[in-house]
Every structure is written in structure tokens, then in C-alpha cells.
Structure 1
Amino acid sequence: MASYARTYRDGYVSAWHDHPRHQLVYAVAGLMMAKADGTSWAVPAGTGLIVPAAMLHEIRMVGEVQLQSLYIDPAETGAGAMAACRAVTVSGLLAGLIAALCAMGNPWPLPPRAHHLSQLILIELGAAPDTPLALPYPPDARLRRVCDALMADPGSARTIDHWAALAGMSRRSFTRAFQRQTGRSFGQWRERLRCQIALRAQARGAAMEQVARDLGYASRYALQAMMRRRV
């Protein structure tokens, strides 16, 4: 297991790439927006994104981001915890283990302390709960057309019937297909999209009252209540 720590400026983009090892990208501070495995991920401070070996991914920094990253050999005992792409909540214990390993500066040969830290990290990653901010993109082109339109106008108050018509589907077929392909209802998907947008705006210091109006909420309190439910 190798470690890496760095601070990135607002707007920095790590363009599409992959790694021969599994990776954990942990946001110590700030907000990362990532794309991987057909899903858009919001990775705010206190959460991390697990990216399996050889998986293409892109990461954008929103605001100044303090990042700690781990690279794990897929053959390492316990690396099965890293085999699927997912965003996880980083507990205080796991954050302390990651910080301790990063502070060691990748000594080689690996001393016993670094080895034990890495094993504890893998155990804690296997137990880490998923975060609620994944935004899967449906494979069906008709549903993607709806998602693209909603991304362009996330505050739209149009009804499900409107979106079903845009997809060229009946309401029932649309809602069933959307749930099946994304694992979320259309309403849940739209709420997650709005939450991601609000998190980006918040990280950049935007006026949340205006953000709330743009996203179709009566006030910033209503928007913040939704964000508390999601995050």
C-alpha cells in the first residue's frame, strides 16, 4: 500500500485516467466531483471514493481540496474491499489510520508499523458505509435524454408525466425503467442531483438563498433540510 497527500486548487481537473492498483481518494477538506463506472459522485470532506484497478475515472476539485490517496495492490490480502467502485464515509478511526500511513512517507522495505496500518485500513474500508451521494447514469438513451435535460435545468418543476413524454414512454414504463437502471426513483435521483449542485455551490461560497431558488426551493432552509436528509 502506497500513500499520497496533496492540496489542490479550485478547478483543478485530474482528467480521465486509470491505475494498475486499487485507489482510495479521500477528501480531508473541500469537495471533489468524480466520474467513474457510469456514475457521478460527490465526495465532500469526510468521505472517500474507492476506484478499482484499471477503472477509468475523472476528478474535479471544487474549492481548495486537501486530498489523501492510497494505492493498494489487488493481490494484497484484504484488497477485496476495494474491488467495487463506491463512495464511503470515512470514520474518525479510518481517517487517523490514513493520516498515520501518509505521515510515514512510503518507506521501503515496508516496516511492521506500516504493514499493520495498511491491514487495519483495509479492514475499516470493508466496514465503511456507502455515502448517499452517488448519481448513476442510466444506459438507456431515452432516460439519458431526460437526465441531460434535468442537469441543464435542475430546478425544473415539470411533472413526471412531462419527463416520461420526453423519453417517449408511458409514465409507468418510465418510472419502472428509471428505478431498474439507476437503483433510484426519479424523485430520489433528482434530489441527489440538486444536492450535488448545492454542495458545489456551497464549496465555492455562493449565496445559498439564490442557489435554493435556482434549484426550485422556497428558501435556503428548505434546501438545507433536503441536504441534511441526503448527507
Structure 2
Amino acid sequence: MRTIDRLPLDEETPRPVAVLHQSFVSGAKTRWHSHRRTELLHASGGLLVLSTESGTWTVPAGHALLVPADLPHELAGYGCSEMRAAFFTDAALGAALPRECRVIAVSDLLDIALRSLASGPLLYDADGRGGHLAALVVDEIARAKEIHIALPLPQTMRLRQLCRDMIQKPSLALDLDGWARHAGVSRSTFTRRFRAETGLSFAEWRRRLRMLHTLTLQADGVPLRQAARTAGYRSSNALRDMMRRTMSETVRPDGSRREAP
């Protein structure tokens, strides 16, 4: 995978919202870096994968990722050719300012507003068309549904190493008792610690990992049947059903979960 220092973006434009087009060759990966502003990443196709010390977030087509300011991260692209990066001041986002990374669904209106603002001058007229587009971008972000496809990592070193081993080989087929023995704890201790440190059951975490792995392979053109075998599923139908259930999960404005229609 080709490694680059960071995306050459001008995030210090003296405007509350700055949106730029950026080419991001498939297979490219940035080094660890951070930004002084909150960042939003939106690819026109393929898959973006962003990693921090606490977890991994996948951003499929039709979605975007909000990254808090000053958060060290690395970014990889699969099947991508073009993306938009937007930078926001704290005052611009207001109540929508993220405290942690969030994947959101991108509405048609948000997509058009991002493209339109990126196509205009960076120093747009804050009281004219550019200012109206910037306000629309912020409003659509505030209304956007959050998609729960983060892959949080445990804090306990032994559990974290176990998760990293699984990330390297998602098809590992140990059952829960086997993973508990691998971590050197009882089944009950393993399940309790894992949920406490990730917010997910081990089964939920492993499903998300396998979905992430599958999305990455598909973005690189790997057929679903082959991706299913690599992810540890016996059939592409079983994998497809799991991904549909996982991707349909959203959050209501009051924080409760539901299945998207």
C-alpha cells in the first residue's frame, strides 16, 4: 500500500466552513496525523478506512466521516478516486460538533452542497452563495443519521492484541470459549470485560470486523463469494444478510436505536 504523509489540504482557510476536492488513489494510506479543525471526509465511491488508537471507522459510498479536531489518525482508501474534505470551526458546527468519530449518511442535498462549495472559491462571499451553501452543509450534518459501523478496540492490552490478531485474519474460527482461553481469562470475565471496554458484545464486534473486511475487499474488486470465504462465512448469502442488518442500524435523534426501513 502506498503511504503518503498526509493529504495536501488547506484547512486554515479563513472561513467557518472550507470544502476541497481531493484525489485519493486507491491503495493509498496516510501517515498518522491530525488537524486543528473538525474534518468531514466524503468519497464519491469506494471505501475509506480511518484508524485511531481507540478504533477503526469504515466509510462506504453514500456516507461521510466526522473526525474531531486534534485526533491523531491514519486514512486508507480502497477503490477510491475522488473525495471531498471539509473543515469546520467549532462555532460553525455548534451542537453538531463531534466528540468522537461518527459515520453519517449523506443526503442528496448534503452531497450537492459539498460538491458545489468545493467547486467555488475557497474565499467565498460569506454573505452570498458560498455562505448559504456552508450553512446548508452544517444544517444537513446536524440532521444526518449516524451509522454504527465503528470497530472500537479494548483498552486491556491482552484483549487489544487479540482484536489486532483478528483484524489481521478475520476468518479465525475460535468460539467464545476458545477466545477466552486465548485471552487467559474465563468466559464470563472475557464477555464482561469486552463489552465494558468496547460497548459491544464479542459477537457484535466480530460481525462488524467481518463487514469492514468485506467492504475493503469489495472496494478492491474482490467478488463477494471470495470475500465471504476470506471473512469466515460459508456462503455469500449469509455474509450479505449480516451486512444488510449491520448497515441498516441507525440512531434516532433521542439516541435510541432502530432498524432503517
TM range (shorter): over 0.9
* Superposed CA offset, 1:7-51 (max 9, x none): 221111122111111111112211111113611011111111111
| Equivalent in the alignment of 1:64 | 80
- Pair 82,191 (structure 1): closer, same or farther in 2 beyond 3 Å: same
Contact 2:124 2:130 in 1 (8 A): no
Residues 1:95 and 2:108 are matched in the alignment: no
- Pair 52,108 (structure 1): closer, same or farther in 2 beyond 3 Å: same
Residues 1:230 and 2:246 are matched in the alignment: yes
Distance 1:109 1:91 in 2: 25
Over the matched positions of the two proteins, sequence identity in percent amounts to: 36
Contact 1:201 1:211 in 2 (8 A): yes
Paired letter, 2:165: A
Where in structure 2 are the equivalents of 1:41-80 lying within 5 Å?
41-76=57-92, 78-80=93-95
Q: What SS does the corresponding residue of 2:90 show, helix, strand or coil?
A: coil
Distance 2:95 2:68 in 1: 10
Q: List gaps (5 residues or longer) in structure 1.
A: none
Residues 1:15 and 2:31 are matched in the alignment: yes
Distance 2:68 2:229 in 1: 38
TM-score using structure 2 length:
0.83
| Equivalent in the alignment of 2:131 | 115
| Equivalent in the alignment of 2:44 | 28
Distance 2:165 2:98 in 1: 33
Give the CA deviation at 1:183: 1.0
* Superposed CA offset, 1:29-78 (max 9, x none): 111111136110111111111111111111111123321111111233x3
Q: What SS does the corresponding residue of 1:101 show, helix, strand or coil?
A: helix
Give the CA deviation at 1:220: 1.4
| Equivalent in the alignment of 1:214 | 230
Q: List gaps (5 residues or longer) in structure 2.
A: 1-16, 248-261
Give the CA deviation at 1:120: 2.1
Q: What SS does the corresponding residue of 2:80 show, helix, strand or coil?
A: strand
RMSD: 1.6
Distance 2:74 2:118 in 1: 23
Give the CA deviation at 1:187: 0.4
TM-score using structure 1 length:
0.93
- Pair 175,65 (structure 1): closer, same or farther in 2 beyond 3 Å: farther
Deviates more, 1:178-187 or 1:83-92: 83-92
Paired letter, 2:123: P
| Equivalent in the alignment of 1:83 | 98
Aligned length: 230
Distance 2:196 2:109 in 1: 36
Deviates more, 1:179-188 or 1:102-111: 102-111
Give the CA deviation at 1:108: 4.2
Q: What SS does the corresponding residue of 1:117 show, helix, strand or coil?
A: helix
Give the CA deviation at 1:224: 1.5
Contact 2:150 2:208 in 1 (8 A): yes
Contact 1:30 1:66 in 2 (8 A): no
Q: What SS does the corresponding residue of 1:184 show, helix, strand or coil?
A: coil
